[in-house]
Every structure is written in structure tokens, then in C-alpha cells.
Copies of this chain bind each other. A is one copy, B any other.
Amino acid sequence: MEQKVMDPTVEKALEQFKALDEKITHFSSIIGLADWDQKVMAPKKGRSMFAKAAGTLRTEVFKLSVSQEMGDLLDTLLSNEKTEGLDEMTKAKVREYKEYYQKSKSIPADLFQEYSILTAQANDAWEEARENNDFARYLPSLEKIVEYKRKFAEIYGYEEHPYDALLDEFEPGLTVKKLDPLFAKLRESSVKLLERIKKNGKPTKVEIFDQSFEIEKQKEFNRFILPIIGFDMNAGRMDETVHPFAQTVNTGDVRLTTRYLEKNVRSALFGTIHEAGHGIYEQHVNPAFEESVLQSGASFGIHESQSRFLENMVGRSKEFWKYFYPKLQEYFPNQLENVSVEDFYRAVNTVQPSFIRVEADELTYNLHIMLRYEIEKALIGGEIEAKDLPAIWNQKMQDYLGVTPNTDTEGVLQDVHWSFGGIGYFPSYSLGNLYAAQILRTIQNEVPEFNNHIENGRFDLIQEWLKEKIHQYGKLYTPNELIVRVTGEELNADYLVEYLEKKYTEVYEL
């Protein structure tokens, strides 16, 4: 057997690159833990001081990521990739760092600093504006953020639409050209389906949820289902926060939060299942990727596909409730003893156009996202300005959902994302739904017993498939590579359209 002799320069570069990747990942893991702590555990008085400490560590990660050392190592490895080739893992790591290095390196330090200060202040402005229903309070900050984002888009570079440069930050490779037809198809069918439900749908017994559900029992039930649906409690935690989230420290330490409302049992229930979807993904990443940039999910969209898949495709299925409903009735006999599983299943799938995205159902949720996508695209493209947003927002709400917010607080001011500069983030949510439906189709083909597994509580068999096909790979593949590997084709809106059509035809007896 011929032993390949490695160029000593490349060998050394590989070693240094591994060490640098490990250091960055270690620091990022600590930042993750610290972020979780400040949201979940830290006492009030220490937070602003700690934010400075965390900022110092974040800056260190930024400096390492755009350092001369990083640049040189990437150069050496990229030129070797062309000649000798790199192993699959190194290739993926180089791809990840190169992407960030090239973008961030070209932002002048001054501009970055000014922008950081702006977003810190914009968050306060947004909070005040939202609290007082005062869009004018937010507008100057929002205008500046849009201005910066337009600048960044130019610096990052793009081929067709400036918004592409921002989309790419959240979903590598995503462009307006790819997304427009997907969303157009989904929007058209969703609006029509919504009309049909409104007109001909047999009402669900959604009033089931207009009852109090004891919080202590909700907690117990959530803790009961978490390990059954696949979340390893020895490799994670579950806590409470106002805004639920999942935070990874490492694959053996993934932390979920949820929110319990006595008057809204659905909030914690589906919130927990959703976050568990994110968490299980991270618990399943190949241990060989630990301590490297590959140790987390492929992209925002793919991540969201795993939370949506578990929350909606699994957690809002009839089979899911066939398995869990008797137990839920045991926990809440007063509230549920006279409610059939069929009625409960229909009730958790109630469609109800509303003003607030985070409270939206599976069908109307995507319409909320598309409204934001269209606004962002037009803003970055220079077709509209920030001052026009309230009017545009309300018009689109009426067009897509048939409702008009009474106030800007219920409308254009409801989301935090723009205030921290997260323009390009929203599409990930609907991408998640699109990916999830496509994955559902594949798993139904490859695991014919899929529905039975759910009905029998064999979530382990489903998770095994997800782990093998998706989770284990972490960031090894780009989102597009991954979806093609898993489903045999690129992202296609048909699957979600058909899924929604089928589901609601059944639920609403259309």
C-alpha cells in the first residue's frame, strides 16, 4: 500500500487550524453557557457588569476568527484543497471559517464598533416603542440599522439581490431567486386554504383551552414526555423563562427553557416539544465533531426544521395524541375527562388568523413570515423605507390574513429581530416548515411504520432515523447538500403545500 506523504507545511497548518478551531469552539461553548445563565439564573444586579465580561470573550472569538493567523491558515489549506484535497471534516471546517472570515474581515473595525453600539441602543428604543405603541420612537434606530445593513450587503457582496448577502448569513447559499418561488407557491395555497377553512371548516372545540391548567401539573407532564420523545435529561436541562429557547453548551449539555401559563396549556406543551426538537438535534451530533465548528446544526433553517418537525408533524399529529392523551387526561381530569381524543386533536390544530406571529397556528404562521420577508427584501433593495413600514405591514396583514392590527405594538413593533440587526433571519422559520414537510415525506417512505411508531410511543425509532440521516452530521454539509442527501432533491414547496392541504382538509372536514 502506498503511504501518502503529507507536505510538512500543510501538516503544520492542519495542526494549527485544529488548535485554533478548538479554542474558538471552547470559548463559544463558554459564551453559550454564560448567555443561558444570564437569561435563566443570574440575579438582576450583576447582569450589566457581566455583559461587559461576556463582551470581552465575544470580542476575543471575533479577533481569533478574523486574525492574520486564521487568514494564513485558510490560505494554506484552501490551496492544498485544490491540489491534494482535504478530508471531509477539514473541508467543512475550512468552508465555515472562510465564510465568516471573508465577510467579517472586510468590515472596517470602526463600522463594526459603531454598528454594535447602534444595535445595543436600538433594542432599548424598540422596547420603549413597543411598550408605548410609539413607532416614531423606534424609527430613527430602525432607519440607521437598515442603512448599515444595506452597507454590509454591499461589502459582503452578492450576485443578484442585495438581500441575498443577508439571507446567506442565516441560510448559507439561500437567495431571493430561490426563495421567491417557494414562498409564492406556499403563500398562494395558504391564503386559499385559509379562505376555505373560514368558509367551510367545521369549527373545532378550541374552547377546551379556555380553562385553567395547574402549572405544577403542566411541569410534571412536560417532564414526563421529554425523555419519551427523545430528549436525554442526563445531557441537558429544562428551565423556565419568559421567552423559551434552546442553548447548547456541548453535545452532553443542551439546555431548554419553556414558559408555563395557567390559562394557556398549549404554550408550554408545544413550546417544550419545539425546543426539544432543537435540543435533540444537538445531542445527536457526532461526538467526533465536538470541540469544532461542526458541532452544531447545519443552519437556522435546518435547525428550525427539526423543532417544527417534532412540534407539528409529530406533536400535532393524531397518533401523537392517541399515545399521550390518556396520560394528559390523568393529569387534568377536571379539564379533559369529557373531551375525546378526536376533539382534542382537532382543537390543537385550530386555525385562527391573529396579529401575533409567535401565537400563530401552523398554517397562518408562514403568512406572518412571508410578510416580513417581503418587507425586508424591499427595504434592503431600497424600494421602501423604514418610515413606510406601519402602513405596509397593516396592508399585508389584511391581504394575507384578513385582519388588521389595531396598534403598531400588535403589528410592526412585535418582533425583536430587527432591533438586533437580524434582517434575513425570519425566512428561517418558514424554511424550517418547508424542510420539515419534505423530510416527513421521506421518513414516511423509508419508515413505513412511521405513524404506528408515534401511536406506540416508539419515538426512539423515529429519532434514530433523524440522527442517522440528519443530526449526526452537525455542520458537515451545507443545508442544500444535506436536504439533497436526505430527501434526494432540493427544497421544494410542494411537500408543505400538500401536507397542509391534507391535514386541514381532514381536521376541518373540508
Contact = CB atoms under 8 A, between A and B. Distances in A.
B37 A252 contact: no
Contacts of A291: 49, 52-53
Question: This chain: how many copies in the complex?
Answer: 2
Chain A contact surface mostly: helix
A222 B129 CA distance: 41
Contact of A253 (B30, B45, B232, B252): B45
Given A27-B56, A41-B237, A249-B42, A50 B22 contact: no
Nearest to A232: B45
A53 B251 CA distance: 13
A443 interface: no
A23 B290 CA distance: 27
B252 A23 contact: no
A249 B50 contact: yes
Contacts of A50: 29, 33, 249-250, 253
Interface string A18-33: 0000110111011001
A57 B30 CA distance: 9
A370 to B, nearest CB: 38
A30 B49 contact: no
A205 interface: no
A54 B30 CA distance: 7
Contact of A26 (B23, B37, B52): B52
Interface in A228-274: 232-237, 249-254
A34 interface: yes
A436 to B, nearest CB: 27
A49 B292 CA distance: 12
Given A43-B253, A249-B46, A53 B29 contact: yes
A47 interface: yes
The range of chain A's interface size is: 35 or more
A44 B251 contact: no
Contacts of A41: 37, 41, 237
A55 to B, nearest CB: 8
A253 B52 CA distance: 14
A390 to B, nearest CB: 38
Given A30-B30, A45-B234, A232-B45, A56 B23 contact: yes
Contacts of A253: 42-43, 45-47, 49-50
A267 B361 CA distance: 52
A30 B56 CA distance: 10
Interface string A44-77: 1111111011101100100000000000000000
Given A34-B33, A43-B237, A290-B49, A26 B57 contact: yes
A49 B233 contact: no
Nearest to A291: B52
A43 B250 contact: no
A56 B236 CA distance: 22
Nearest to A22: B56
Given A37-B41, A49-B290, 16 more contacts: A22-B56, A26-B52, A26-B53, A27-B53, A27-B56, A30-B54, A33-B50, A34-B34, A42-B253, A44-B234, A45-B234, A46-B252, A47-B252, A49-B251, A50-B250, A57-B57
